[in-house]
Amino acid sequence: MSEHPIRLVVSDDLERDRLTAFFRWLLAIPHLIWIALWSIAALLAAIVNWAATLILARSPGWLHRFLAAYVKYATQLYAYLYLAANPYPTFDGQDGYPVDLSIAPPARQSRWTVALRGLLLLPAALIVTALTGAPGGTTSFRRQGSFSLNFGLLYVAAVLAWFAIMARGRMPRGLRDAAAYALSYGAQFWGYALLLTDRYPNSDPLDAVPDLPARADPIHVRVDDDLRRSRLTVFFRLPLAFPHLVWLVLWGIAALLAAIVSWVATLFTGRSPAWAHRFLCAYLRYQLHVYAFLHLIANPFPGFVGRAGSYPLELAVAERQRQNRWKTGFRLVLLIPALLLASAYGTLAATVALLGWFSSLARARMPRGMRNAGALALRYQAQTFGYALLLTDAYPYSGPVRAGVAEAGAGAGEGGGDEGPLASASPAPERPDTPGALPDVGLT
């Protein structure tokens, strides 16, 4: 398939100025006023553009330029606000910003998709909400006193990045790429909404960000799924997963006890006991299989024992290694940022599962982009749980990574490396991409 007409261009060097990062939202006030005004004009222009495109089957050049500049400027501003880029942006969305957009000139559009654009936008709106959050984030307090937050991946990544930048003066690569993924989807969403293109937003994280790193994390996920889905098992996916969920809870209790023993042992000996490592690896693998089945990231009904090599989404965990006692001792505290991000990824996985359910029922296939988005979310969650269960002391890598070779146990990989709360794991050289090693998957 050809490239998407709206592409993110990233030339950011990850360096951040602590002072401007600290006051980022205050510094952006003039921009926020300006974008509010520009948004009103863009709304009016979008209405005119819709009518014109419906008649001409092509967006008029001047309207396209105006709206493209608006989307470009908005992306630059959001990249600045959410710390995905460092320099103060211009007010007209000029080319050359470290997180920029390339938007193709107007092309012919199907009148049907133009007429029904408002309806067609709905599924993408759900994904864009999971990635960038509802505008400003939503908080709903229910009667019982519980509450739910939906700030989206972009917001959570920015909050975590803010602390990392304050400590290190540098944006962690994984968080930057996670934010860039959200920005890329958001730009394509708005480009589609404003009729800059009739290509649907692409939810594939591998296509969203250029030059993704290939990493060899101690915990990684190999995807060997052909995207085919059985309509019958898709329709009944939730009740079919029910016995697995019950078993997962029971196994989870044993895993929790094993993790506590392992924590004490690792604190004293610097290594988790071999039996605990094996037991917890099997649990984590099983959990991944069940979640992949439940979220439609894979098709077959998984086994109940988490057998290695039995499932299209395969978890690879490095042999047990020596672990830093400080990181072990403070594991619960260190986990908090990863859990926040895992929760944001969880929202993404649930959204993908919901949309994938309809799509798989209609086409007996899971869209590749959604499958890869879900696999990214599950990989991050698996790394987080693996870190919690003391299978490794390498911090979860929060961004998408390129398809390629990945050997367990090689330590954390390149690219500005790991974004542990304040520390980075041992770096390993970036590995060359190996085309064809894992053909359509890419999420190692």
Partner 1 sequence: MPGARAAWQSALARPARSSLTLLALAAFAALWALAAHALWHSTVPSGLRLAHVDPREMFSARFLARSSSYDRFLQVDALLGQLTLVVVLALYARRGHRLMRESAAGRIGTGMMLGMLGFAVLWIAEVPFGLAAVWWERRHGISHQGYVSSLLTSFLSLGGKFLFVSLALLLAMGLAGVLRRWWWAVAAPAFAGLALLSSFLSIYLIPNTHPLRDRQTTAEVRELARVERVAGTRAEVQDVKRRTTAPNAESVGFGSTRRVILWDTLLDGRFPRDQVRVVIAHELGHIAHHHILERVGWLALFLLPAAGLVALFTRRRGGLARPEAVPVALFVFVLLQLLSVPLTNIVSRRDESEADWSALQATHDPAAARALFRNLATTSLANPDPPTWTYVLYDDHPTIVQRIAMVDAWQARGGR
Binding residue for partner 1, selected from 299, 360, 372, 424, defined by CB under 8 A = 299
Q: How far apart are CA 94 and CA 73, in angstroms?
A: 8
Q: How far apart are CA 160 and CA 340, in angstroms?
A: 9
Backbone angles phi, psi at 315, to 5 degrees: -95, 130
Give burial (CB, 10 Å; 0-12/13-18/19+) of 268: exposed
Candidate ranges 78-86, 156-164, 215-223, 235-243; the one touching partner 1 (CB under 8 A)? 235-243
Candidate ranges 7-15, 61-69, 233-241, 340-348; the one touching partner 1 (CB under 8 A)? 233-241
Binding residue for partner 1, selected from 87, 113, 304, 433, defined by CB under 8 A = 304
String of contacts with partner 1 for each residue 28-67, x by CB under 8 A: ----------------------------------------
Say if residues 420 and 411 touch (Cβ distance below 8 Å): no
Give ∠ CA 379-385-386 in degrees, rounded to 5.
Answer: 85
Q: How far apart are CA 167 and CA 178, in angstroms?
A: 20
Count of chain residues binding partner 1 (CB under 8 A): 23
305 touches partner 1 by CB under 8 A: yes
Interstrand relation of 138-141 and 147-150 (parallel, antiparallel or unpaired): antiparallel
Neighbours of 260 (CB within 10 A): 12
Minimum separation from the CB atom of position 310 to partner 1 (A): 5
Q: How far apart are CA 171 and CA 102, in angstroms?
A: 23
Residue (of 285, 238, 234, 124) closest to 189 by Cα position: 124
236 touches partner 1 by CB under 8 A: yes
Say if residues 350 and 407 touch (Cβ distance below 8 Å): no
238 touches partner 1 by CB under 8 A: yes
Say if residues 91 and 73 touch (Cβ distance below 8 Å): yes
Write the single-letter amino acid at 150. Answer: N
Candidate ranges 103-111, 302-310, 404-412, 429-437; the one touching partner 1 (CB under 8 A)? 302-310
240 touches partner 1 by CB under 8 A: yes
Q: How far apart are CA 403 and CA 386, in angstroms?
A: 21
Judged by beta carbon, residue 155 or residue 311, the one nearer partner 1 is 311
String of contacts with partner 1 for each residue 307-336, x by CB under 8 A: x--xxx------------------------
Minimum separation from the CB atom of position 82 to partner 1 (A): 38
Binding residue for partner 1, selected from 25, 112, 235, 326, defined by CB under 8 A = 235
Judged by beta carbon, residue 307 or residue 322, the one nearer partner 1 is 307
By CB under 8 A, the residues from 262 to 291 that bind partner 1 are 289
Judged by beta carbon, residue 236 or residue 330, the one nearer partner 1 is 236
The tally of CA atoms less than 13 A away on the side-chain side of residue 228 is: 3
Candidate ranges 29-37, 208-216, 239-247, 432-440; the one touching partner 1 (CB under 8 A)? 239-247
Longest dimension (CA), the chain: 74
Judged by beta carbon, residue 259 or residue 316, the one nearer partner 1 is 316
Binding residue for partner 1, selected from 43, 44, 246, 336, defined by CB under 8 A = 246
Contact set with partner 1 (CB under 8 A)? 230, 232-233, 235-236, 238-240, 242-243, 246, 289, 299-305, 307, 310-312
